[in-house]
Amino acid sequence: MDHAHDTHTHEGHDHGHDVHTHHDEPGFWTKHIFSEDHKVISRQFLITAIFMGVLAMMMSVFFRLQLAWPGQSFPILNYFLGDKWAPGGVMSPDMYLALVTIHGTIMVFFVLTGGLSGTFSNLLIPLQVGARDMASGFLNMLSYWFFFISSVIMFASLFIEDGPASAGWTIYPPLSALPQAIPGSGLGMTLWLVSMSLFVVSSLLGSLNYIVTVINLRTKGMTFTRLPLTVWAFLVTAILGVLSFPVLFSAVLLLIFDRSFGTSFYLSDIFISGQALEQTGGSPILFQHLFWFLGHPEVYIVLLPALGITSEIIATMSRKPIFGYRAMIGSILAIAFLSFIVWGHHMFITGMNPFLGSVFVFTTLLIAIPSAVKAFNYITTLWKGNLIMSPAMLFAIGLVSTFVTGGVTGIILADSALDIPLHDTYFVVAHFHIVMGASAIFGMFAGVYHWFPRMFGRMMSNKLGYVHFWITFIAVYGVFFPMHFIGLSGVPRRYYSNEAFALFDNTHELNVIITGFAVLGAIAQVVFLFNFFFSIYKGKRATQNPWKSNTLEWTAPIEHLHGNWPGSLPEVYRWPYDYSKPGKDEDFVPQNVPLSAGEVENH
């Protein structure tokens, strides 16, 4: 064991200290694979999410090719999809639907939920609250491994004979319940449901851990009003997850019953492939209620961690306290609360009672207020700051821009009357990709660039980061801004081809432009991947506190040690945003520095 341990220790681990209370000598397996160390688990989440992200991004490029040049042969499609799904290099309609379905599923759940929360809640919660690890390292490890199995099953579903789930990422029954309706609703959908059930388990194990850790393991002096906004965001996100994911699980469970055991929760009066089904009395709308009861909070599960990360990075890199710290916490809480009572805005045209629709219009538009507060607070933080443009800072600024640009079109869609002609058109696709997709992924990139030195002890290349940011930023707006116009022309989403309608002919040019930008954006991610993996091994060694930040994670030694701090835990004396405080020599004062004589703690 000793020998194995030494050969796999790269960082010059100090064996003399006695922080390890539960392990004396972790072997290779417990150190790198079945690790209970939150820092290792966070890396595992990140790398799994990157793999899934690359997969989902490639899918988007594939279906963008089809949308720009429908019916044209692309050898690359034949290479990846094979003769069955892309005979002669032309994607089949079934495969098109499968790709949009799995692209959505992976991006929303595996990258932006598992990847974002899993990586940064794991890395930052213990380090920023001053804890040795998560409340339960074992459950935390299980959380990753459930995520891993869930990812493997989702990945495996791509290779089965009838193809993966293809009823859209929202898997509305009856389409998702009946293999007669679409081949992907056979084994593919079964695997999707199994995978998502395991994902819910992973998410719950993780979230419960995050909540308990934040509440119980804060170090001395770390009051709730001294918590970094990242931790606030992760805490509230975890609460959202615990309250909403079980509802998805129940929705999935009932669907499994309908599919396999002949129940009729969601099915009623269906006649398909020459047969009248027995099921009667169920309601497909019930599924939508259950799904969106998770689905809408899910938007904020994706977005809040990104906003938390942005708050932290914008303050640090502006060398200025975050503006309106308490208002930021208040708006996180307000958004979280409201997110539970707006789900009906996904269902305005399902035949829902119009009065109920108006209630959802009201609650939905209310969310614009805390969101506006957040955006304006970010901008005020930049005002008269001393902005250091690290790649993380660029992505954080980019996030504020996409959050605003995508947010305002939400005001149109939340208006039930205007939703009638725009529902399920590309206007919706443009809206949520900017406000949720781009913003969240920007938050994730910002986090990776900013905390890379904390995760791997090395720096990523700034220059490559700049190339990555600018091309990605241009590509995001290049793809999704013109998409609004396609939606306003009435083009429905999830159409394999728009050629069946003369009405849509004049949107063809825009589709070509969009695909061009999509390919450009995909290429930019190669720069990121190179930078990321190259820097893990060859990057410049990180200094203790490279961004001159105030939070506790930068006081822990760079070398990974289970327990985070040798000796006693740091004590906290101030809030995390004392940047450029008058009367101080340096432009930052870490949280573990006691107040000097006569100093007032402001916020």
Partner 1 sequence: MIYIVILIGILAFWQLIKVYEYATIINGSEEETVTESDTRFNAKMMMVFCVAFFVFCIWNFWMYQDSLLPPSASEYGKALDTLFNFNMIIIGFVFFIVNAVLFYFASKYYYRKENKATFFAHSSKLEMIWTIVPAIVLTVIIIYGLKVWNNITAPVNPNETIQMELYAQQFAWTARYGGKDNTLGKSNYRLITDNNPLALVVEDPNNGDDKLVKGEFHIPIGKMVQFKLRSRDVIHSAFMPHFSAQMNCVPGMETEMHFVPIYTTIQMREMTKNPKFNYILLCNKICGAAHYNMQMDIIVESEEDYNKWLATKKTFAETMSATPDEPKVESVKEEMKKYTAITATVEEVKVEEKK
Residues 525-544 that bind partner 1 (CB under 8 A): 526-527, 530, 534-535, 538-540, 543
Closest CA to 46 of 118, 103, 100: 118
Cα–Cα distance measured from residue 436 to residue 496, given in angstroms and rounded to the nearest whole number:
24
Residues 6+ apart with CB under 8 A from 482: 510, 513, 514
Instruction: State which of positions 94-123 bind partner 1 (CB under 8 A).
Output: 94, 97
For partner 1, the binding residue among 110, 199, 249, 323 (CB under 8 A) is: 323
Stretch that binds partner 1, among 25-33, 218-226, 243-251, 502-510 (CB under 8 A): 502-510
Between 9 and 401, name the residue whose CB sits nearer to partner 1. 401
Residue 458 Cα to chain centre, angstroms: 24
Between 197 and 416, name the residue whose CB sits nearer to partner 1. 416
DSSP letter assigned to residue 16: S
Between 132 and 423, name the residue whose CB sits nearer to partner 1. 423
Query: Which alpha helices (DSSP H) does 19-112 contain, by range?
Result: 28, 38-68, 75-85, 93-105
Q: Under the criterion CB under 8 A, does residue 3 sit at the interface with partner 1? A: no
Q: Under the criterion CB under 8 A, does residue 375 sit at the interface with partner 1? A: yes
Cα–Cα distance measured from residue 140 to residue 512, given in angstroms and rounded to the nearest whole number:
45
Structure tokens at 367: 């969310």
Q: How many residues bind partner 1 (CB under 8 A)?
A: 143
CB of 96 to partner 1, least distance (A): 9
Q: Under the criterion CB under 8 A, does residue 318 sit at the interface with partner 1? A: yes
Q: Measured between alpha carbons, how far apart are the two ends of the chain, in Å?
A: 51
Asked if 130 and 199 touch (Cβ cutoff 8 Å), the reply is: no
Cα–Cα distance measured from residue 234 to residue 143, given in angstroms and rounded to the nearest whole number:
16
Instruction: State which of positions 454-473 bind partner 1 (CB under 8 A).
Output: 459, 461-464, 466-467, 470, 473
Q: Under the criterion CB under 8 A, does residue 84 sit at the interface with partner 1? A: no
Cα–Cα distance measured from residue 400 to residue 393, given in angstroms and rounded to the nearest whole number:
11
Between 40 and 98, name the residue whose CB sits nearer to partner 1. 98
For partner 1, the binding residue among 87, 246, 492, 566 (CB under 8 A) is: 492
Q: Under the criterion CB under 8 A, does residue 445 sit at the interface with partner 1? A: no
Instruction: State which of positions 26-45 bind partner 1 (CB under 8 A).
Output: none
For partner 1, the binding residue among 368, 432, 457, 571 (CB under 8 A) is: 368
| 3-state SS, residue 496 | coil
DSSP letter assigned to residue 181: T
Closest CA to 398 of 455, 314, 494: 314
Asked if 364 and 342 touch (Cβ cutoff 8 Å), the reply is: yes
DSSP for 81-107, written as a single string: HHHHHSGGG---HHHHHHHHHHHHHII
Stretch that binds partner 1, among 103-111, 119-127, 248-256, 510-518 (CB under 8 A): 510-518
For partner 1, the binding residue among 272, 544, 557, 594 (CB under 8 A) is: 272
For partner 1, the binding residue among 4, 47, 139, 418 (CB under 8 A) is: 418
Structure tokens at 377: 């607070």
Between 87 and 168, name the residue whose CB sits nearer to partner 1. 168
Between 33 and 359, name the residue whose CB sits nearer to partner 1. 359
